[in-house]
Structure 1
Amino acid sequence: MAFIGERLSEFAACRPDELAVTSGATSHTWLSFHGAVGEVERILRGKTPDGGRVALILADPLEVLVWFFACARAGRIAMILNPDWPGEQRETILEATAPDLIVEPECTHQPDLQSPAATDGSPERAPSEETLFYAGFTSGSTGTPKGYVRAQGSWLESFKITDQAFAFPPVVAVFLPGQMTHSLHLYGAVHGLDRGHPVHVFNRFDPRQCLARLRQVAGPVVLYATPTQLSLLARGAANTGPLECIALILTSGDKSPAGRVELYAAVFPKTRVFEFYGSSEASFVSAAPQDGSVPSGSVGRSVPGVDVIIGNPESPYPPGVPGRIWVQSPLLFSRYLCGDTPDTKWHGPWLTFGDRGYLDATGLLYLTGRSGRMVVTSGVNVFPEDVEQVLRRHPLIVEAVVIGLPDSLRGERLEAVIQKVDGGDLSPQEVQAYCRAALGDVKTPRKVHLRQHIPLTSGGKPDIQGVMETLGKS
């Protein structure tokens, strides 16, 4: 019976003084990391029921990883909330998910070990591959963030695919330049530690700091980064000199902008780069090595153990015909804890999450559309409807349309077209500040366009295509 974090005791016994994980000036050896996880595991078993939900609202990546592994080993569900979320969004999620324990920074320093147990007195079960252990949150088309939950087996199988599909090298270090609230970085850190690799994490993405630390490592290094982070690191390396320590780069969230493959080859000369396509609900779907073997418009072939069909599970479409993408694999999520979307549907063992595409005659997958109006900006999925809903609450805004436009750095960037109240005194900066306070930086439009009128369709709804055409002319 395998579970995540099962081998921490082995690593602590065999390599007690070797580096396990580091962030800035703070580090854990395998012995101290195992000890910290064990202490929190005891707290969880005393204060939460078997299978209980633990909301982690922590900025320190080391604290996130300690509590995450403790939850996995204790058979609890670690719910990862972003501490930068506005209070309204945080409270909405907490109310919808009803956690048994909320962990914030002030709670982690001196845990109350004497508090009454929250268990029902029944024996604790050992975690199994069916045990739910992780809940992440992503945008939802209903306005409430979707809380998707996974069983341990889905990540254990993902670990095997990562080792095989990307031919993991003998690793000296795994680098995660972003926050643990991003599932790409959390996954990379947990996979690295579960496999016994030293892991380097960061409080915030800082290209210069990350490059400086990379130059201190002899290699080989595995780097997980969104396309935006990778672009910024590549630009920095172009100014300071190539990085030969990186052996493998795994990137996901959106296609890298055109011309970046050549830049990566120049600044990361000993690196294999893989872009993988997937979703919060499906994990890995396909992968594309950035070596010229896959056409630039394709997201690659399905990874081992994952089956992809188009259109209809009962009667799949032939090659070249676009339709809904359906996935069958051992990596699929279990269910939503909160929020929902009509784009996510099950048909027996097959799952679709709304994306559309087609397979060519050789099995290469091509995307033709994201679910609904979803925009992928800096590796984060954003539904424009969420942003529009907030903007329309402003007393000086009559109507709002938010769209994604191509961006060489972010993949796509959000821009908003605002129709304000006649005579209203409103600036683009005020609109951005209002949006940032409600939704945070990622969902705040990079540019705001004020208009006297927003074009409408014959049905009286905002003409999104017409808005896009006006932006193209402005």
Structure 2
Amino acid sequence: MSITRHLARHALVRPEAPALTCGGETLTYAALDALVARCATRFAAAPAGGIGLDLPNGAALAILFLAAARAGREAQILDPGWPEEQRRQVLERVKPGLLVSAQAGDIRLDPGQGAAGLAEAIGAGPVEAITEPDPDLPFYVGFTSGSTGLPKGYRRAHHSWTASFDADTVEFGIGRGDVILAPGALTHSLFLYALARGIDAGAHVLLSPSFRPRIAAELARAHGATVLYGVPTQIALLLDHLAAEGETLPGLRLVLCSGAKWPPGRRQMLAHRMPNAAFAEFYGASELSFVTVAKEAEKVPAGSVGRAFAGVRLSIRDAAGRRLPVGRTGRVFVASPFLFMNYATGDSPDLYVSGDEVSVGDMGFLDDAGFLHLVGRSRRMIVTSGKNLFPEEVERVLETHPAIAAAAVLGMADGKRGERLVAFLSLAEGEAPTRADLIGFLKSRLPLFKVPRLYAQVADWPLTPTGKTDFPAIARLWPDRCELLP
């Protein structure tokens, strides 16, 4: 079955129930099903190949993604913010049978195109019967940062997400009574998943053409949002907005966070501004989908990313592929029905396969209770004074300091030490820690070789399009475009 397996049934049983809201438009399940069916008929008749979607965030992109899935075609979701040469190279590799774009393509849409008139805009005719896609067919190619500079395209089959839907019903109980707020870009798989998950459950999905904390708060209040999907930077900005306005979102019952570790110092504010919301964060990867979940009610140890998600099996292996016992650090391998198919563009030097298990190069260990503790990515490992160091560990400790909003620890070339540790910092408003302050703070918490001696303040913290710290961009700031702490 496809990821749109339940859409027609929801339309039949609850035709007037709201399904999708974005940019001032709301579609009922009957209207969404009819529109997806028309667009799917158009896509099913397109030349062989995927359906390239090069569109701004919004209702048109959401609907055409669902239509491609129903048609049994692979939706290749491009980022409209890519430079033209990067776009050209990606298209050359994925070779869509049909490209729908707000720039140049087989079908050109107005950038402001919404749900109204969408079927006509892509040349869709009457609905025709379409065979339900095989669950093993690919339905999606997403893109993330690649090691060569070209975005890395990963391909997924329908069953990888329908299995995820079933598993996260066990974990989170999302159902047709929920209103899901997914205010991020659909080029980010977290928010695309939230869309598809909500429609599968028969919930009401709220999207936003762009992330604005004020708009996200207004959407949540106006439609009674019960579930929020977000990355830490977005959730933090939303909390800051609520605090500045003296507002709360008491209707939220669940906040789902992914993409990076949630700062412990923010938990009290979240509990105050979203007082009835359970908080859960999950660790995963584009290739792996869900890996672990950390729920407040489960007393997750400090520093852990949680236990295995429902349906996931974890193992820790050494460089030779041998299983390691509890407490030993090695590569984290994952076996689950949620894994990706293959790469659509390029590959990854960090991908390791052992039987039915896959690793993306993350290093960690399992404790006696089965909780996973990550120590870092193998490709970010720094060699300093002959010792291996995972900078993520240092970053996590730095971010517990009240003066630090964000930290990035990088190894800069050094003739004597191999790599010299530099901690790049985004400081909290009004804070001015000294180098000595931070060295003292870290020395009481980490071995001496893990304590950087240089600390640089970054005024405008670089983020990737998905809201994560942009480490290559930070490295380029050294040494002339950052300020060393005294």
TM-score where L is the length of structure 1: 0.77
Partner of 1:83: 80
| Alpha-carbon offset, residue 97 of structure 1 | 1.1
Q: Which amino acid aligns with 1:11?
A: H
Residues 323-472 of structure 1: matches in 2 within 5 Å?
Answer: 323-373=330-380, 405=424, 443=470, 445=473, 449=477, 451=479
Work out whether residues 61 and 201 of structure 1, in 8 Å CA contact, stay in contact via their aligned partners in 2: yes
Q: Which amino acid aligns with 2:101?
A: E
| Alpha-carbon offset, residue 24 of structure 1 | 2.4
- Could you say if the C-alpha distance between residues 441 and 266 of structure 1 is closer, same or farther in structure 2, counting changes exceeding 3 Å? closer
Partner of 1:111: 122
Q: Which amino acid aligns with 2:473?
A: P
| Alpha-carbon offset, residue 186 of structure 1 | 0.6
Residues 145-294 of structure 1: matches in 2 within 5 Å?
Answer: 145-168=151-174, 171-218=177-224, 221-239=226-244, 240-291=246-297, 293-294=299-300
Deviates further, 136-145 or 302-311: 136-145
- Could you say if the C-alpha distance between residues 407 and 326 of structure 1 is closer, same or farther in structure 2, counting changes exceeding 3 Å? farther
Work out whether residues 330 and 364 of structure 2, in 8 Å CA contact, stay in contact via their aligned partners in 1: yes
Using the alignment, how far apart are the partners of 2:70 and 2:183 within structure 1?
26
Work out whether residues 40 and 67 of structure 2, in 8 Å CA contact, stay in contact via their aligned partners in 1: yes
Using the alignment, how far apart are the partners of 1:286 and 1:327 within structure 2?
10
Partner of 2:15: 16
- Could you say if the C-alpha distance between residues 366 and 141 of structure 1 is closer, same or farther in structure 2, counting changes exceeding 3 Å? same
Q: Which amino acid aligns with 2:364?
A: G
| Alpha-carbon offset, residue 103 of structure 1 | 0.8
- Could you say if the C-alpha distance between residues 19 and 170 of structure 1 is closer, same or farther in structure 2, counting changes exceeding 3 Å? closer
Residues 27-66 of structure 1: matches in 2 within 5 Å?
Answer: 27-49=26-48, 52-66=49-63
Per-residue CA deviations over 1:303-338 (Å, capped at 9, x if unaligned) read: 111011111496311111111111111000010011
| Alpha-carbon offset, residue 85 of structure 1 | 1.6
Using the alignment, how far apart are the partners of 1:404 and 1:207 within structure 2?
29
Work out whether residues 168 and 310 of structure 2, in 8 Å CA contact, stay in contact via their aligned partners in 1: no
Partner of 2:457: none
**Which one of 89, 92, 99 corresponds to residue 95 of structure 1?**
92
Number of aligned pairs?
402
Using the alignment, how far apart are the partners of 2:313 and 2:40 within structure 1?
37
Using the alignment, how far apart are the partners of 2:467 and 2:189 within structure 1?
18
| Alpha-carbon offset, residue 27 of structure 1 | 1.9
Partner of 1:304: 310
Work out whether residues 142 and 341 of structure 1, in 8 Å CA contact, stay in contact via their aligned partners in 2: no
| Alpha-carbon offset, residue 104 of structure 1 | 1.0
Using the alignment, how far apart are the partners of 1:335 and 1:244 within structure 2?
42
SS of the residue corresponding to residue 216 of structure 1 reads: helix
Residue ranges of structure 2 left out of the alignment (5+ in a row):
103-107, 110-117, 382-390, 396-407, 413-419, 429-459
Q: Which amino acid aligns with 1:77?
A: E
| Alpha-carbon offset, residue 288 of structure 1 | 0.3
Partner of 2:439: none
- Could you say if the C-alpha distance between residues 99 and 440 of structure 1 is closer, same or farther in structure 2, counting changes exceeding 3 Å? farther
- Could you say if the C-alpha distance between residues 8 and 449 of structure 1 is closer, same or farther in structure 2, counting changes exceeding 3 Å? closer
Per-residue CA deviations over 1:215-268 (Å, capped at 9, x if unaligned) read: 22345x111010111111112222322211000011100101131111111111
Q: Does 1:143 align with 2:171?
A: no
| Alpha-carbon offset, residue 29 of structure 1 | 1.5
SS of the residue corresponding to residue 43 of structure 1 reads: helix
- Could you say if the C-alpha distance between residues 94 and 439 of structure 1 is closer, same or farther in structure 2, counting changes exceeding 3 Å? farther
| Alpha-carbon offset, residue 164 of structure 1 | 0.8
| Alpha-carbon offset, residue 76 of structure 1 | 0.6
- Could you say if the C-alpha distance between residues 190 and 289 of structure 1 is closer, same or farther in structure 2, counting changes exceeding 3 Å? same
Work out whether residues 84 and 440 of structure 1, in 8 Å CA contact, stay in contact via their aligned partners in 2: no
- Could you say if the C-alpha distance between residues 296 and 137 of structure 1 is closer, same or farther in structure 2, counting changes exceeding 3 Å? same
Q: Which amino acid aligns with 1:274?
A: A
Q: Which amino acid aligns with 2:265?
A: G
SS of the residue corresponding to residue 306 of structure 2 reads: strand
Work out whether residues 142 and 340 of structure 1, in 8 Å CA contact, stay in contact via their aligned partners in 2: no
Identity rate, percent: 35
Work out whether residues 261 and 290 of structure 1, in 8 Å CA contact, stay in contact via their aligned partners in 2: no
- Could you say if the C-alpha distance between residues 363 and 63 of structure 1 is closer, same or farther in structure 2, counting changes exceeding 3 Å? same
Work out whether residues 38 and 124 of structure 2, in 8 Å CA contact, stay in contact via their aligned partners in 1: no
Partner of 2:2: 3
Work out whether residues 76 and 142 of structure 2, in 8 Å CA contact, stay in contact via their aligned partners in 1: yes
Using the alignment, how far apart are the partners of 2:427 and 2:301 within structure 1?
19
| Alpha-carbon offset, residue 151 of structure 1 | 0.7
Deviates further, 273-282 or 82-91: 82-91
| Alpha-carbon offset, residue 299 of structure 1 | 0.1
- Could you say if the C-alpha distance between residues 351 and 324 of structure 1 is closer, same or farther in structure 2, counting changes exceeding 3 Å? same
- Could you say if the C-alpha distance between residues 124 and 210 of structure 1 is closer, same or farther in structure 2, counting changes exceeding 3 Å? closer
- Could you say if the C-alpha distance between residues 170 and 131 of structure 1 is closer, same or farther in structure 2, counting changes exceeding 3 Å? closer
Using the alignment, how far apart are the partners of 2:269 and 2:287 within structure 1?
32
Using the alignment, how far apart are the partners of 2:370 and 2:427 within structure 1?
28
Residue ranges of structure 1 left out of the alignment (5+ in a row):
115-122, 378-382, 389-400, 410-431, 453-466
Work out whether residues 231 and 467 of structure 2, in 8 Å CA contact, stay in contact via their aligned partners in 1: no
Deviates further, 302-311 or 165-174: 165-174
Q: Which amino acid aligns with 1:12?
A: A
Per-residue CA deviations over 1:31-81 (Å, capped at 9, x if unaligned) read: 2211211111111111133xx211111114211121111111111100111
| Alpha-carbon offset, residue 285 of structure 1 | 0.3
Q: Which has the higher contact order (CA 8 A, sep 6+)?
A: 1
Per-residue CA deviations over 1:404-435 (Å, capped at 9, x if unaligned) read: 846589xxxxxxxxxxxxxxxxxxxxxx9xx9
**Which one of 329, 354, 374 corresponds to residue 322 of structure 1?**
329
- Could you say if the C-alpha distance between residues 333 and 205 of structure 1 is closer, same or farther in structure 2, counting changes exceeding 3 Å? same
| Alpha-carbon offset, residue 286 of structure 1 | 0.2
**Which one of 104, 123, 127 corresponds to residue 133 of structure 2?**
127
Using the alignment, how far apart are the partners of 1:85 and 1:371 within structure 2?
28
Q: CA RMSD in A?
A: 3.4
Q: Which amino acid aligns with 2:18?
A: L
Q: Which amino acid aligns with 1:110?
A: A
Partner of 2:399: none
Work out whether residues 37 and 69 of structure 1, in 8 Å CA contact, stay in contact via their aligned partners in 2: yes
| Alpha-carbon offset, residue 441 of structure 1 | 11
- Could you say if the C-alpha distance between residues 185 and 132 of structure 1 is closer, same or farther in structure 2, counting changes exceeding 3 Å? same
Deviates further, 357-366 or 171-180: 171-180
- Could you say if the C-alpha distance between residues 237 and 328 of structure 1 is closer, same or farther in structure 2, counting changes exceeding 3 Å? same
